[in-house]
Amino acid sequence: MNKLRITLGGLLTISVVLLVAATSSASFVPAFVSAEITSSEILDSPVRDEFPEDNSRNLSLTQIFQQSESGIVSIAVTQYSNIHSSGVGSGFVYDNTGNIITNNHVVENAEKIIVTFIDGRSYNAEIVGNDKYSDLAVIKIDAKEPTLLPLKIGNSDLK
């Protein structure tokens, strides 16, 4: 079995992507924002980084989501213990081999995991690795490469 290695910088990027995926469909306004600003203005405003001279790096949350939505998935989980329960979460395609990153609490103790893409295609998945302390898990689906559109992972070590 191949081992999947993710650096600390990669974990930070993964956490940000999961946050964007989880909040992209919600309409939210941070508490510090004036009521005169709409949520669409927040989502469409550029996300600044430490390289302001490079305009390709200043994308709005909406643009980030539009560029990554085909690699973001919905995860439905069924658990059987004393009672039957189910839940949902999100994740993203990590590579062309079918590895998907999600939160550990989404798939923990799962008996059945179904991954659904934005276009409606669904696949059964299995847990291949997890870490409850960082709340990250890797699940794997059996899908063909053209189906999978991995997200680009940034490198926080670059200066």
Q: What angle do CA 66, 7, 26 make, to 5 degrees?
A: 30
DSSP string, 40-78: HHHHHSB---S-TT-GGG--BHHHHHHHHGGGEEEEEEE
Structural domains in the chain?
Answer: 8-147 (2.40.10.10)
Q: pTM to 2 decimals?
A: 0.62
Residue 79 confidence class, pLDDT cut points 50, 70, 90: confident
Tell me: pLDDT of 156 over 60.
yes
Averaged pLDDT for residues 92-112: 93
Residue pointed to by tokens 């409606």: 120
Higher pLDDT, 123 or 63: 123
